[in-house]
Amino acid sequence: MMMNADPELSLFPEDCRLFEDSFSAENTYRVSGQNITIHQYYCANLGVSASVWDSALHLCQFFEKESLDLSGKRIIELGAGTGLVGIVAARLGAQVTITDLSLALAQIESNVECNTPLSGWPSVAPAVLPLSWGRDHDSFSSSWEFVLGADIVYMPETFPLLLDTLAHLSKDGAVVLLASPMRREHGAQDFYNTVLPQMFKVELVQRDPESNINIYKATLR
């Protein structure tokens, strides 16, 4: 990014698009053997949902590293943001429901659309639905094989809501896989060491010290 020479002015990027209400960026990621093109719509409303966070890439790479067979599996993703994780799972043959707050759904729908394989989705096209933790999970089934979330543990005030939603969704035996940067200031340690174990058996299945991103597997007790 070009910066101004004057140090005071250099606080402000010259890229004027950053001051517009919205602009989009397109990136292609190679994950789990899939090329996925993600449009990120940066605008005031989308906030943290606009970005692909590193945890999402770590979770997709985990599928490959662990040779997880997702084909035909029923999977729900929480707090999907751009939809990358759910889209990768659907491209690997899973039946995926991608969820987030309503404001993020148009971005996810657009990404699902532009990642439709030429030959069609191997199983079914991902469903994209609103799910606000702790509020409307009752309208979702409990029969999933995997519940996925990348970088969704960052607001302590939402931890009890997230716990309720995870418990509802995994009643029938789902494996919960959560990838998180272990940011102390966001209470991630507390969530995994104290909050989640209230209802779940929790196991650290991957740690990357360089990025400080952990992946946890949890199953309802």
Ligand X SMILES: C[S@@+](CC[C@H](N)C(=O)[O-])C[C@H]1O[C@@H](n2cnc3c(N)ncnc32)[C@H](O)[C@@H]1O
Q: Which positions lie near ligand X, rule CB under 6 A?
A: 48-49, 52-53, 55-56, 79-82, 100-101, 104, 131-133, 150-152, 158, 161
Minimum distance between the CB of residue 74 and ligand X, rounded to whole angstroms?
19
Q: How many CA atoms lie within 13 A of 20 on its CB side?
A: 9
Minimum distance between the CB of residue 91 and ligand X, rounded to whole angstroms?
16
Query: CA-CA distance, 30 to 144, in Å (whole number)?
Result: 26
Residue for token digits 């309802």?
220
- Helix (H, G, I), strand (E, B), or coil: what is residue 118? coil
Cβ(39)–Cβ(107) below 8 Å: yes
How far separated are the first and last CA of the chain, in Å rounded? Answer: 49
Query: CA-CA distance, 70 to 146, in Å (whole number)?
Result: 9
Query: CA-CA distance, 134 to 86, in Å (whole number)?
Result: 21
Minimum distance between the CB of residue 99 and ligand X, rounded to whole angstroms?
7
Q: Which one, 56 or 94, has the nearer CB to ligand X?
A: 56
Q: Which one, 92 or 188, has the nearer CB to ligand X?
A: 188
Q: Which one, 101 or 205, has the nearer CB to ligand X?
A: 101
Q: Which of 50, 46, 34 is nearest to 94 (CA)?
A: 34
Cβ(200)–Cβ(212) below 8 Å: no
Q: Which two tokens stand for residue 4?
A: 């101004």
Q: Which one, 95 or 165, has the nearer CB to ligand X?
A: 165
Minimum distance between the CB of residue 6 and ligand X, rounded to whole angstroms?
33
Q: Which one, 96 or 150, has the nearer CB to ligand X?
A: 150
Minimum distance between the CB of residue 19 and ligand X, rounded to whole angstroms?
23
Q: Which one, 81 or 126, has the nearer CB to ligand X?
A: 81
Minimum distance between the CB of residue 202 and ligand X, rounded to whole angstroms?
19
Query: CA-CA distance, 76 to 144, in Å (whole number)?
Result: 7
